[in-house]
């Protein structure tokens, strides 16, 4: 079974809240060096329409990754972005392993 499968057991599946599609995506598991410009370039490189708003959540001092929100103009654009970019491998110079970008629909309807 894939390590990216959220439903490997009934216990894990019960912790997941399935969200309906929205124009806002929650991103997580990205390295601390990732910026709004990084996401803009990622969208351009994968021919994804650009997002219209970006928010990064405050990270703890001990954090090794960042998370936040990206908003698209419409639900369709967000769905296409999720399809193209989810599980993208972000490599960091001198890093041992790549970070796997995770995307999911947010409970927020707008930023």
Q: State residue 5's pLDDT score.
A: 65
How do the domains of the chain map onto residue ranges?
Answer: 20-105
Which one of 3.40.1190.20, 3.40.50.10490, 3.30.70.330, 2.60.40.1480 gives the CATH number of domain 20-105? Answer: 3.30.70.330
How far apart are the C-alpha atoms of 6 and 15, rounded to whole Å? Answer: 9
Query: Which pair of structure tokens corresponds to residue 15?
Result: 């912790």
CA–CA–CA angle 110, 65, 30 (5° rounding): 65
pLDDT (0 to 100) of residue 2: 60
Residue with tokens 């894990």: 12
Phi and psi torsions of 90, nearest 5°: -100, 115
pLDDT per residue rounded down to tens, the chain (111 residues): 566 666 677 777 777 777 899 999 999 999 999 999 999 999 999 999 999 999 999 989 999 999 999 999 999 999 999 999 999 999 998 878 999 999 999 988 888
**CA angle, residues 38, 84, 41, in degrees to nearest 5:** 20
């Amino acid at each position: 079974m894939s390590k990216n499968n959220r439903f490997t057991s009934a216990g894990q599946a019960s912790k997941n809240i399935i969200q309906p599609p929205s124009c806002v995506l929650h991103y997580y598991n990205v390295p601390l060096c990732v910026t709004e410009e990084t996401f803009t370039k990622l969208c351009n490189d994968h021919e994804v329409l650009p997002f219209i708003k970006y928010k990064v959540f405050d990270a703890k001092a001990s954090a090794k990754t960042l998370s936040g929100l990206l908003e698209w103009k419409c639900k369709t654009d967000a769905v296409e972005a999720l399809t193209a970019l989810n599980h993208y491998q972000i490599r960091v110079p001198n890093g041992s392993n790549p970070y796997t970008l995770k995307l999911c629909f947010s409970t927020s309807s707008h930023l």
